[in-house]
């Protein structure tokens, strides 16, 4: 606790010297952190890259055990892949035309991907604008440093110049410190969503290719 208090006391002058730009960057950092935690919790709750239940459902499907396959997916209804595969199985079991079923599967899959991409745009925006805001703070800081030089007249102090520029560069450094990890985490989220989308597409395709070849083969359990 004492160390945390000391750290806050050390950082307070730096934040104060950065002015409104520094506070803006700190606010963006807090927002980015909240978005990252929210997305991580969402992905953990949905288990977007889990495939065990899909494999189990497809195993039942290949054997012609259609209702157990649907039940297996129903037990994991919250997971995106479950809803996509269930749309394919239910459509075929109801003897709907294959093209109609594929359109419905595509629609459900797109909705799931949109759901997974929620809140990623603000995270991407923070990664893009943080360095720009930091650079703006640096430019304003340098302008203020030169203004102080102008006021000092002939009595130019090297410490005045170096100190003003050093304080100005703080905002650029903070902007980059926010942008780099935010961008990397954003890309990690995107890769997970891409893998999930590919898994949904592959699983739905297996429903069409591994099921009975004739509509007369559909039956209830």
> What percent of the chain clears pLDDT 90, i.e. is strictly above it?
47
The yes-or-no verdict on residue 106 having pLDDT over 70 is yes
- Chain mean pLDDT for the chain: 83
The average pLDDT across 113-131 equals 94
pTM, to two decimals: 0.81
* H or E, element range at 191: helix 158-210
Task: Point out the least confidently predicted range of 46-50, 61-65, 142-146, 157-161.
Answer: 157-161
Q: Give me the pLDDT at residue 181, please.
A: 96
Angle at 91 between CA 86 and CA 96, to 5 degrees: 175
- More confident: 200 or 140: 200
C-alpha distance from residue 44 to each of 47, 51, 83, 119, 168 (Å): 5, 14, 17, 15, 40
| Tokens read off for 186 | 């954003």
Confidence of residue 8 (pLDDT cuts 50, 70, 90): very low
Q: Do 164 and 49 meet the contact criterion of CB atoms below 8 Å apart?
A: no
Give residue 7's pLDDT.
Answer: 42
Higher pLDDT, 213 or 27: 27
Question: Can you give the pLDDT at residue 175?
Answer: 93
pLDDT at position 18, please? Answer: 61
Give residue-wise pLDDT tens across range 126-168: 999 999 999 988 888 777 777 776 666 666 566 666 666 776 7
Residue 143 confidence (pLDDT): 78
Domain boundaries defined on the chain: 19-211
Cα 176 from Cα 29, distance rounded (Å): 11
Arithmetic mean of pLDDT, 114-125:
93
Q: Is 215 or 171 the better-scoring residue by pLDDT?
A: 171
């Amino acid at each position: 606790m004492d160390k945390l208090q000391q750290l806050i006391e050390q950082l307070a002058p730096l934040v104060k010297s950065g002015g409104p730009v520094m506070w803006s960057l700190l606010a963006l950092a807090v927002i980015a952190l909240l978005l990252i935690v929210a997305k991580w919790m969402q992905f953990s709750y949905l288990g977007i890259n889990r495939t065990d239940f899909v494999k189990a459902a497809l195993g039942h499907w290949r054997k012609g055990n259609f209702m157990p396959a649907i039940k297996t997916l129903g037990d994991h209804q919250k997971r995106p892949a479950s809803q996509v595969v269930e749309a394919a199985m239910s459509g075929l079991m109801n003897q709907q035309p294959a093209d109609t079923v594929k359109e419905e599967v595509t629609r459900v899959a797109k909705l799931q991907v949109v759901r997974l991409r929620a809140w990623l745009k603000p995270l991407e925006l923070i990664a893009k604008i943080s360095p720009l805001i930091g650079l703006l703070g640096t430019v304003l800081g340098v302008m203020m440093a030169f203004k102080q030089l102008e006021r000092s007249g002939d009595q130019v102090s090297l410490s005045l110049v170096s100190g003003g520029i050093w304080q100005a560069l703080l905002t650029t450094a903070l902007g980059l410190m926010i942008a780099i990890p935010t961008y990397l985490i954003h890309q990690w989220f995107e890769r997970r969503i891409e893998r999930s989308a590919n898994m949904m597409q592959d699983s739905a395709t297996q429903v069409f290719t591994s099921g009975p070849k004739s509509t007369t083969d559909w039956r209830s359990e």
